[in-house]
Structure formats: structure tokens, C-alpha cells
A and B are shown apart, each in its own frame.
Chain A
Amino acid sequence: MPAGLLIFLFGLFPVAFAFFVSLHQWRRFPGEYRGLAHYTTALGELAYVVFFWVAVGALVYGGYILYRQFKQGANNLLALLPGAVNTGALLLFINWFVIVLPIILNIPQRIRGQERVQGIFIQELLASLRDPAALEANQWMWLGILAAVVVSIVWWRLSRRRDGGEALFRMTLAILFIACAILTFQLTASAIQAEVTAAQEAGGELAIWPQVIIISLGVVLIVAAFGLWQRSMKLDDSRRFMAQAAVALMIAAAGYILIAQVPPMLANADNEMLRGFNITVMFVIGTVPLQLGIGLGLAYLLFQNIKGKAFFRVAYFLPYIMPFVATSIVFNILFSHRPTSPINQLMTTLGLPLQKWLLEPTGIFRLIFGDGVPDWLVGPSLALIVIILYTAWTYVGYCTVVFLAGLGNIPNELYEAARIDGANGWDVFRRITLPLLSPTTFFLSLISIIGTFQAFTQIWIMRTPAAQSSVDTVGVYIFETVRNTDPNMGYASAMSIVLFIVILIFTLIQNRVAGSKVFYG
């Protein structure tokens, strides 16, 4: 299936490839192995903590799948064997792949300068497959695959279960997760060890392990506090108070640990990237609620038997499908710094001072409350605010349309029942519409968060040299790293992976938090 191949090549494989690249010095072609160095450049010592936790997460997830399997049936204990063999085969395959990949990737460099003959590329390809190291790994791989196939078939025959294939798949997945966790852990540990030894040789002391453990403790505390909070909701009054006091205490302790320990670990991090993350988070926090709120309001109004509903819908939707490039330029000019630009005309009419808008790097709270605002409280710059407004403007129509569809799915009887009970409009909205709309809201916020995290076009167009440092998100920073005349692909990949992990964490948190509130009717 060509589709499968393409999706694999450009959809899934890249994540693994990115990780592989991020471990190397890499310009346009692979260079030397550099371990986690790119990650420490990006994140400082916090990188170790992150990797430690990725490993722990994979371990827990693998364990969880195993646990669920065992709860379902006892004869699954046997499935551990084929699962383990399959994982082994997969790892051997990956091992072979990792050995062969750089050799293959270097072919264009090796044949550069030679005359261009049709067959030469194929020759090189075959030659690189016959590389001694690759050949050995290859043999191991085939051995592993053979063993995996045999064991799987034998197990399948013996178990005689209808869902045997699925159980096998889950087992393999679980053990694969655990194996990956162990490998990641080993990678992290060896990187930390190397660093510590280097520091000792230089005569210093480096306390990475204690730091990792302390910060992990903080994270565990927060997670535990969240769990306790959820449980406390079910308790009676007096106990609930105790539990909530404990939650508060735990959060305070965790907060203290994190605030005290994280900044020194970030001391060696890439400041530009950290700023990028800061901006990205502000951007997301500013955009998503705005567009969801306005979208919901418009959809709710449109839903009330409005004449010309279709027309409104079409019009609202217009900004969403227009090329971002074109509409960004319009906003560029609408919000230009000239005193006669349309928005500044509006400001004059309203009796407000003129603004430089996109040229203004100063934080918004400092603009409102004067220079007394401390540095960490200045908030998004005015330029970023304009970009937030623009982004919300484009997505409002999309939110409206999806909300409208969600509203249409709410059965009419509920409204009628509420009306008979004498509920007023606001009550109906709060008690019926919002809860029943929660799956739509959840979906939309998920899509919006992922979308805004990777926003690029509007920022690329609307950034000005004057305010550049206050609007460049991580995405833009990664792009700049790749487009550089001396591109550092390894570093860019490392940042991509970090961004991916951050989005993943955001999604997971949102899943947990919203999961308890979403009501599937």
C-alpha cells in the first residue's frame, strides 16, 4: 500500500528519526554521535530530569498494559514469552537499522565527485548493506525475526483464543515500552555519569542525581495532590477539609521544591529557546480561551432560530479558510504603528493613547500599570497581543461551526423539559447546554491547543525586527535553526522532540482534568 508507506515515511518514522538525529552532530549529513548533548544545550541539566521521567512514564505505561492483560485472563502469563521474543526481534531490527542508516545516508556524499552513472547508486546501496557491522546485525535480526514468528505461531496454536492476536500485540507493546524505558534510562544514566566524572576530574562536584531525585519528588507530590483532591470530593465534610488541607500542604511543598530547584538547573539552558517556550505558552493561554469563548457565544446565538443562519455561518467561517499569509498582511497594516492606521484611528476616537502595536516589545501589564511592574509579570508584549487577536480572529469561525454542530446534537426534549420546569435562559445554558456540549468543547480545546502550539505562518509574517524577541515562539526558533546557513539539524531535532513532549504533556494533563468533567450523554 503506497499510502501506508507514505504515512509511515512522513508521519510516524520522523519521530523516531528526529530522536535519532537529535543524538548526533548533524549538518546536512550525519556526523558524530553526541549523546544527550543537544538536549543539555537546550534545557540545561533539566534535560536529565525530563529523560528520567520519559523513562519512568514508559515503564509505568508498559506495566499498566501488562496489569490490564493479567486481569483479563490467567493464561496470559504464557504470552509474556512471545511478547518478549517479538520485542527482542524488533529491537534487533532497530539495531540493524540504526547501524545501516548512517551508512546509507552518507551515500550521496561518497559518490559526490564520481561521474554520474545509472547503476552506481544501487551499487553503493548494496555495498553499504554488506558492510561488516551491518551484516552481523543483519544476521542477528533475521534470527530474531525467525524466533519471533515461530514462537508467536506456536503460542497462537496453543492458546486457541479468538482475540489471541490482540493479546499478543498488547503484550509486545507492553514489553516494548518497558524495554524502551530501560534503554532510555541507561542512556540518561550514562550521560549523567559522564558529566559527573568530567566534573570530578576537573576537581568539582556535580550533584545531578540528588537534583533529579528532588525534582522528581516535587512532581510526584503534585500528582499525588491531584489524586487526593479528586478522591476528597467523595468524602464527607470533615474529612474533606483534612484532605484538602493536605493537598494544599503538598502543593506548597512541591511548589517550593520546584521553584527552588528548577531555575539553577536551567541556568545552562538556551535562553532563546526558554524565551520561545515562555512566549508559546502565553500565546496558547491567550488564544485558546478567547476563540472558544467567542465561538461558543456566537454559536449559541446562531442556534436560536436566527434568520439568515447559513449566511452568518458562511461569513464567520471566511477568516478560517483564507490564506494566513494574505490575512496576516491585512492585520499588519490594520495594526501598523502609524498614527493614521485604522486601529490607531479607533484608539483616537475612544480617547486612548496611540500605540506602536506590532513594533512594541514591551509587556502588556507594564503598558497598563506603568514601569513599576516587575520583569516576570510583564505578560505578553503588545505585538504578541496583536498576533493573539489575529489568531483568535481566524479560529473563531471554526469554533462557531463545530459548536453549532454540537448544539444540534443535543436532544430537544431536554430543553422542553427544562422549560416546563420553569428554568430561565441562563439556567438552561448552564445546566443543560454546557454539560452536554462538553465533548465538543473538549475536542475543540484539544485541537486549538495543538494548533496554536505550532502556529508559524502568522508569526513569521507579523514579526517585526523591533519586537522580534517578544513574539518568536519555539516553532519559529526551530525553523530559524534549520534555515541557518550553518544548520544544526541535531539541535533542531532535539528542540522538536522537546516541543513534542511538552505538547504531549499538555494533552495528557488536559485529558486527565477534562476527563472527569466531560459528560458523554
Chain B
Amino acid sequence: MAETARPLEIPAAEAQQTTPRKPIPWGKIVSYAILIVGLIQALLPFYWMLSSSVMSVTEVNFGYWFPSRFRFENYALAWEQANFGQFMWNSVRITGITLVGQMLVCIPAAYAFARMRFIGRNVLFGITVATLMIPHVATMVPNYLTVIWIGRLSQNLLGFGWLNNWPSLTIPFMASAFTIFLLRQFFAQIPEELWDAARIDGAGHLRFLRAVVVPLSKAPIMTTVTFSFIGSWNALLWPLLVTQTDDWRPVAVGLTKFINNEASSDLHLQMAAAVMMIIPILIMYFFTQKQFTEGIATSGLKG
């Protein structure tokens, strides 16, 4: 059945993208054409996702491109069936705790790395950055064991466990080497005179950090918040590992469960659920997209 098949047909336009042409008069038009093809390949899946989320199952199965009627009840149905309210609430809680914790931990750490002098500062910072290069896969298993153990400890001491509870989902991510790195780069650029002025006014490090540094670096902080928000919202592997019941499962895990069990053949409901999962990210992205892409660009070059 597959004698003459050519399953991977890279569209001609994509192949051309690597051979740019310039000074020819109609070069601009070609550029636009290629860019628009690129645009279509980037956005088409999203269009398809949206349109099929308001179709009936048969329409999705038959590969229609336009719904005959907008069935918004799909969303209500998916929300209901997937227990999405619970998962959304979990994700919001997890992301919120992670973000707050991360800011509390990382801002002082970045500040210390940037502006305080202590023995072994550069070595420590080097180690911190080096952890960025260690793949998650290598640390997943031992982290799991650590979390199990600390979980038992806090179960005995404080009365709540870590597994299947919020600490295992949030605390390991609070100290993000990436956030520390990004913020340190910015903090280091704050002029020394400000610190001198603050010291003359009798402010210590903490006060200076709160009153001067943080307000000055709203933009990079927003960038890191966006990064962490997206990372925390999209994470699948770790939550899959440390949650066993729906009490604390985030949306990513819930959606995976939903498409594998409850709605394995209800493609329209799968799409509706997927749309609901990306809405918060979309909102976040459109509010911060400028800082975000800029952050990627600069961090990308400096890293």
C-alpha cells in the first residue's frame, strides 16, 4: 500500500524560505508570500482548533473546515465532563503559589548576586547558571525521591504531606536559576549612585531593594513572571509524576486524562477543552507580548 507514498511533503514554500532574494523588484512580494505561508502554517492549527471546537462530532470526523452551526454548548459540556472547574482552580492555585514564592525567593537572590559582595559569590553564581544546563530528565527521578522523603518528614512534623499536595508542585520551582540569572543581569545595571543616595538616607539593603530596585525593574520582573506563568501552566511531566488524585492536578494533567479516558472519541469536546486551557495563556501573552519576545531575544543572546 505504500510503494509510491511520499508521506513527508514539505511544502515548496517552506523549502524556499532558506533562499531569500532581495534586490529584484518583485522580491518584496515573494518575501511577503513566503511570510504569509509561514503565518498560515503557524496559525492554521489554531483556526482548526477553534472551528472544530464548535462543531458536532461527525463534522470533526469528516474533516469539515467550517461548522454548519456554532455549537457553543460544547464548551459547557466539556467543562462539565472533564471536571474542568476543579482543574482550572488547581492550576490557578499552583501557578499563583509558584509565582509568589518565586518572586520572594529569586528577587533577593538576584539582588545579592548583583549588588552584594560576599565570599564565593562568583562561584555560587556560576553554579547557579550551570544548573540551567542540566536536563530535567536527569534530575527528575532523584527529585521525586527527595520530594517523597521531605513529604514524609512534613507529614510527621507539620501534618501535611508533599506528594499529591501543593508543596511538591510548587516549591521545587520557586528557585528558578533562569529567573535569578535574568534579574541579576538587570539589577547589575542599576547605577551605583542610587545605592549611595539610599545609604545616605539611611536605607539598608532590604529597604533599597523594596523601595528602589523593584519599582525600577518592573519590566524584567514582568517578563520573568510571564515566563514562569507559562512554564507552570504548561508543565505536564512533573505534575503527572507527583499527583495521584484530582485534588491538586493541574489543567495539563486533567486534559491528558480527559482525552485518554472520558472523551477519547469526542473530538469536538477535546478541542473545546484545549481551547479553554489556552485562553489564560493567550490573555497573558497579548498583554505582555512585547516584553516577552524582547525578553526571549535578549536572554537568548546573553545566555
Tell whether A and B belong to one assembly.
yes
A505 to B148, CA, bound (A): 31
Contact with B along A439-465 (1 / 0, CB 8 A): 110011001001001101100110000
Contact with B along A284-305 (1 / 0, CB 8 A): 0000000001101110111010
Q: Please state if B281 and A321 are interface contacts (CB–CB under 8 Å).
A: yes
Smallest CB gap from B132: residue in A: A11
Collect the chain B residues with CB atoms within 8 Å of residue A453's CB.
135, 137
Q: Please state if A329 and B274 are interface contacts (CB–CB under 8 Å).
A: yes
- Count B-side interface residues using an 8 Å CB cutoff: 109
Q: Please state if A367 and B149 are interface contacts (CB–CB under 8 Å).
A: no
* With contact pairs A323-B277, A460-B236, A503-B135 given, residues A333 and B109 touching in the complex (Cβ less than 8 Å): no
B261-290 at interface with A (beta carbon < 8 Å): 267, 270-271, 274-275, 277-278, 281, 285, 289-290
Add 9 more A-B contacts to A12-B130, A342-B63 (CB < 8 A): A7-B131, A17-B145, A18-B139, A293-B18, A314-B293, A316-B42, A323-B251, A342-B65, A482-B140
- Count A-side interface residues using an 8 Å CB cutoff: 123
Instruction: Pick from B68-76, B152-160, B197-205, B215-223 the stretch touching chain A.
Output: B152-160
Instruction: Pick from A65-73, A89-97, A140-148, A347-355 the stretch touching chain B.
Output: A347-355
A321 to B156, CA, bound (A): 40
Collect the chain A residues with CB atoms within 8 Å of residue B255's CB.
325-326, 329
Min C-beta distance of A220 to chain B, whole Å: 27
Q: Please state if A6 and B23 are interface contacts (CB–CB under 8 Å).
A: no
A470-509 at interface with B (beta carbon < 8 Å): 474-475, 478-479, 482-483, 489, 492-493, 496-497, 499-500, 503, 507
Q: CB < 8 Å: which of A312, A353, A398 contacts B39? A: A312
* With contact pairs A425-B21, A500-B134 given, residues A14 and B9 touching in the complex (Cβ less than 8 Å): no
Residues of B within 8 A of A (CB): 1-9, 14, 16-23, 27-28, 31-32, 34-35, 38-39, 41-43, 45-46, 48-49, 52, 60-63, 65, 105-106, 108-109, 112, 119, 123-124, 127-128, 130-131, 133-146, 148-149, 152-153, 155-157, 171-172, 174-175, 177, 180, 230, 233-234, 236-237, 240-241, 251-252, 255-256, 259, 267, 270-271, 274-275, 277-278, 281, 285, 289-290, 292-293, 296-298, 300-301, 303
Q: CB < 8 Å: which of A330, A344, A345, A355 contacts B5? A: A355
A10 to B152, CA, bound (A): 17
Q: Please state if A499 and B138 are interface contacts (CB–CB under 8 Å).
A: yes
A7 to B148, CA, bound (A): 18
* With contact pairs A10-B146, A443-B301, A482-B141 given, residues A345 and B63 touching in the complex (Cβ less than 8 Å): yes
Q: Please state if B157 and A478 are interface contacts (CB–CB under 8 Å).
A: no
Q: CB < 8 Å: which of A116, A304, A318, A454 contacts B43? A: A318
A302-331 at interface with B (beta carbon < 8 Å): 302, 304, 306, 310, 312-319, 321-327, 329-331
